[in-house]
Every structure is written in C-alpha cells, then in structure tokens.
Amino acid sequence: MTPLIKHFTLAPPGGGNLPAFSGGSHIIVVMRGAGRVHRNPYSLLSAPRELERYEIGVRRMEESRGGSHFMHDTVRVGTRLEIAHPVNLFGLDKIARKHVLIAGGIGITPCLAHLEDLHAGTVPYELHYSVRSPEHAAFLERLQRLAGDLLRLYYDSEGQALDAGTLLTTQPLGTHVYVCGPAGMIKHVIATAKSAGWPDSHIHWEQFSAPPAGDAFEAFLARSKLRVHVPPDRSLLESIEAAGVEVPYLCRGGVCGFCRTRVLELDGELIHNDHFLSDADKARGQSIMPCVSRARCTSLVLDL
Ligand code: FES
C-alpha cells in the first residue's frame, strides 16, 4: 500500500465464513518463525458484514522484534496463519450523537471498519487522517469512497497539522472522539479533549504497544514451580508461554488488562509499559502486565 504498509487478506482454507466482528475489532495473528513464535494484534479493516475474509494492514516497524518483518518478508499468497477470534476494545459508542475519528499512519486501520458501519448509518461523523506525505496515505481510495467530504487529510510534508484544540472545542454535545495512531498523537488528543472538558467516557483511543526490549531477568512462577528466563528481546508473557504456562490475554499490547498478574515478591523494580494500570497501581508494584512490562531485578516471583 505504501513504502511501509502491506495489506493482507485472510480467508479460511476450507471456505465459508469467519466469526462475526464489529468495527474496531482486532485479531491476534500467530507467526511461527524459525525458533520463536510471535503473536501480534492487528485491527480488522474489512467490512464487518463481509465475513468470507478478514483484511489487515501491517506496518513494517524499524524496531521490530520480528513480527512485522515476518509478515512483510515471509508471508506469501497461500501461507497458512493461525489467528485468534476477533475482540473489540475500540468499538463505536452506541448512543453517541456524533463520532469524530482521528487517525495517524497505520492507526487508520480500525477506522476503515468503523467507516463501513458509519457509511450505512445515520449518525454524523468526520474522519481526520494524518500521514507523513502523500505516498504514505494508505487505503486512500477506499477512504474517499466511504467518507467522501467527511475525510480531512493532513500531510506532514506539506506542513499541514490537525488543530485538535479547534476541532474538539467546536463539536456538539454528545460527540465521541476516537484516536488511533502514534503515541504522541494519542496523548495530545486525550490531553486536549480533557482540558476542553470532554468526559472520559467520550474519549476513546487504541494503541497496542510492542513489548520493548530490556535487560534479561529471571522470574519464578510460584504455583507452577517453574523458573523462567526472560531474554532481552522476548517479553515476559512470551517467556512464560514458552515454559508451557498459559496466561489469559486479549490484546498483547498493554491495553485490555486480561494478562494482569500478581507480583508476590520483587527484589528490584518493575518496568511498566502498559496503558492499563493506574499510576497508583504501578507505584504499588503488586501487579504486572507481562505482555509488555518487564522487571529490572534479582528476583521476581509471580502468582502463576
Ligand atoms: S494482554 Fe492485554 S494488557 Fe496484556
């Protein structure tokens, strides 16, 4: 689609329909590479009413731990992939009087599925899409077809920038805002909305963090009586799974809270990279989200 984004269509090998989903849903794609397994979340961008296939967009991450490179370099037409059932952590609010969608770069993917629903509905909406330059504007034709005049484009290369302050102070009561894109953009939109008096319930955002690399450390799983080594380039969750212990998850990106794990003992510090725990929870140090967070410690004992 662009120098950085590839578009994939996934269909069941035996034909038929895939499970139903709603706009804003993501799937986990399981990638079995040489020597390790990646499980990455990707938003579904196809129309929720068309279930013979799912579509995803994958951005090649420069700092990739392997997942996006696997999708870009190894996956070919006909490759078999395992995926998990769709989960929606970024759905449209059902009683909103208007929707304002703001996307940056690859953050446009969940908005595409939202647009399929909004296009057929009666609730007013507008879409603001910001990219580095015209060649990075993925899915532009589809966006123009679905949103028409309701699409506003911003090219960094031409000095165009979204004025979140004006946008968010001129919306009618009952409007909900949805933002997906780079961390800085999400932070700015949330802060602007809050300072303009928007209630938290009307501000929606999605940002799957890739687990950052860090120092190697050891964790002890108290109930399983297993010692787990966590190498620098593997997440705590991946290391626990590699040891044969299952941890529930939905997003693997620090958003959903499903992987929350109790910390029983710690000699050192937790490095929280999630967007789920409150600052107070993080300071207490009694829980960790192993999908994205790590520890710098000599001893970490988990309730697993
Ligand atoms: S799996 Fe969602 S926060 Fe860890």
The CATH number linked to 238 is 3.10.20.30
Cβ of residue 252 lying under 6 Å from some atom of ligand 1 = yes
CA 183-185-188 angle, to 5 degrees, is 110
Cβ of residue 66 lying under 6 Å from some atom of ligand 1 = no
Per-residue burial over 145-180, b if 16 or more Cβ lie within 10 Å, else e, is: ebbeebbebbbeeeeeebebeebbeebeeebbbbbb
- Residue 208's pLDDT is what? 81
For a substitution probing ligand 1, which of 90, 252, 272, 304 has the most ligand atoms within 8 Å of its CB?
Answer: 252
59 shares its domain with 146: no
Domain ranges, residue 55: 5-88
CATH code of the domain in which 67 resides = 2.40.30.10
- Residue 254's pLDDT is what? 93
What is the sign, positive or negative, of the torsion defined by CA atoms of 77, 80, 84, 86? positive
222 shares its domain with 197: no
Question: What digits encode the pLDDT tens for the residues 217-250?
Answer: 999 999 999 999 999 989 999 999 999 999 999 9
* Confidence at 120, pLDDT banded by 50, 70, 90: confident
CA 7-9-13 angle, to 5 degrees, is 155
**How many structural domains comprise the chain?**
3
Who's near 13: CB < 8 A, 6+ residues apart? Answer: 80
103 shares its domain with 193: yes
CATH code of the domain in which 115 resides = 3.40.50.80
The residue among 206, 236, 264 that closes a domain is: 206
220 exposure class (CB count in 10 Å sphere: 0-12, 13-18, 19+): middle
The residue among 26, 59, 88 that closes a domain is: 88
CB 150 within 8 A of CB 177: no
The whole model's pTM is what? 0.92
41 shares its domain with 116: no
186 shares its domain with 119: yes
- Residue 205's pLDDT is what? 95
Ligand 1: which atom is nearest the Cα of residue 289?
Answer: 4
What would the mean pLDDT of 275-292 be, rounded to a whole number? 95
Q: Which helix (H) or strand (E) element contains residue 268?
A: strand 261-271
What would the mean pLDDT of 276-283 be, rounded to a whole number? 95
The residue among 88, 122, 149 that closes a domain is: 88
- Residue 288's pLDDT is what? 98
196 shares its domain with 222: no
- Residue 249's pLDDT is what? 94
Q: Over 80: is that where the pLDDT of 114 sits?
A: yes
- Residue 77's pLDDT is what? 96
151 shares its domain with 189: yes
CB 258 within 8 A of CB 290: no
Cβ of residue 89 lying under 6 Å from some atom of ligand 1 = no
* Confidence at 121, pLDDT banded by 50, 70, 90: confident
- Residue 148's pLDDT is what? 95
- Residue 304's pLDDT is what? 97
Q: Over 70: is that where the pLDDT of 97 sits?
A: yes
75 shares its domain with 133: no
What would the mean pLDDT of 27-47 be, rounded to a whole number? 90
Cβ of residue 291 lying under 6 Å from some atom of ligand 1 = yes
Q: What is the separation of C-alpha 130 from the centre of its chain, rounded to a whole number of angstroms? A: 17
Q: Separation of 170 CA from ligand 1 center, angstroms?
A: 35
- Residue 240's pLDDT is what? 97
What would the mean pLDDT of 46-68 be, rounded to a whole number? 89
274 shares its domain with 197: no
- Residue 193 included in any domain: yes
- Residue 299's pLDDT is what? 85
What would the mean pLDDT of 24-29 be, rounded to a whole number? 96
- Residue 93 included in any domain: no
- Residue 211 included in any domain: no
Q: Which helix (H) or strand (E) element contains residue 110?
A: helix 108-120
- Residue 212 included in any domain: no
115/147 Cα distance (integer angstroms): 7
What is the sign, positive or negative, of the torsion defined by CA atoms of 192, 196, 201, 203? negative
Q: Over 80: is that where the pLDDT of 64 sits?
A: no
267 shares its domain with 291: yes
Q: Over 80: is that where the pLDDT of 65 sits?
A: no
199 shares its domain with 105: yes
134 shares its domain with 185: yes
* Mean of all residue pLDDT scores within the chain: 94
- Residue 102 included in any domain: yes
Ligand 1: which atom is nearest the Cα of residue 274?
Answer: 3
